[in-house]
Structure 1
């Protein structure tokens, strides 16, 4: 091993690709300042599923997000996709 670590998505833990977005686990509108790297598709999934108020309550806990049935299905589906995979994200109902 050469000592380098592969950067991974905060939500799905897959290796990051060429396009990386920064997600505020606690939204800026709720006082959040820190960011974490995520795939664009993972970022869009979070914001399509949860409001900023909901994300603010969940906070910096990807396991709590993964426990949501809809996000859990998404994570199972995206697990074997390549790092730069992209598909349209369903909008919030």
Structure 2
């Protein structure tokens, strides 16, 4: 498989590494079935910024998620990191 055909993360667009998580764009608890591949750090970032209710309303729309300034900043920050990069994810207090 060439780099052009390598699977990429649904959120950040970087090539996926050894660890891949499947994210329900509409939470499973809210009836979602479709999943997309994500880096673990990207998956944690989504859930740190959105509740299941919010994801139910907009989760399948990547562009709407990236309207959140903090998540967009995270995607910009992680853009040049290697595929298996990991760091603690800051969570919001709800």
TM range (shorter): over 0.9
Q: What secondary structure, in the 3-state scheme, does the structure 1 residue paired with 2:57 have?
A: helix
Q: Number of residues paired by the alignment?
A: 92
In the other structure, the counterpart of 2:30 is: 30
In the other structure, the counterpart of 1:6 is: 6
Q: What secondary structure, in the 3-state scheme, does the structure 1 residue paired with 2:83 have?
A: coil
Instruction: Find the aligned partners of 1:43 and 1:51 in 2 and give their Cα distance.
Output: 13
Q: How large is the Cα RMSD of the aligned pairs?
A: 1.5
Unaligned runs of 5+ in 2: none
Q: Deviations over 1:30-74 (max 9, x none)?
A: 110011100000000000110000000003111111111010100
In the other structure, the counterpart of 2:48 is: 48
Q: What secondary structure, in the 3-state scheme, does the structure 1 residue paired with 2:5 have?
A: coil
Consecutive aligned runs of 4 or more in structure 1 exceeding 2 Å deviation: none
Instruction: Find the aligned partners of 2:64 and 2:16 in 1 and give their Cα distance.
Output: 21
Instruction: Find the aligned partners of 1:86 and 1:64 in 2 and give their Cα distance.
Output: 25
Instruction: Find the aligned partners of 1:54 and 1:38 in 2 and give their Cα distance.
Output: 19
Q: TM-score, normalised to structure 2's length?
A: 0.92
1:91 shift after superposition: 1.5
In the other structure, the counterpart of 2:58 is: 58
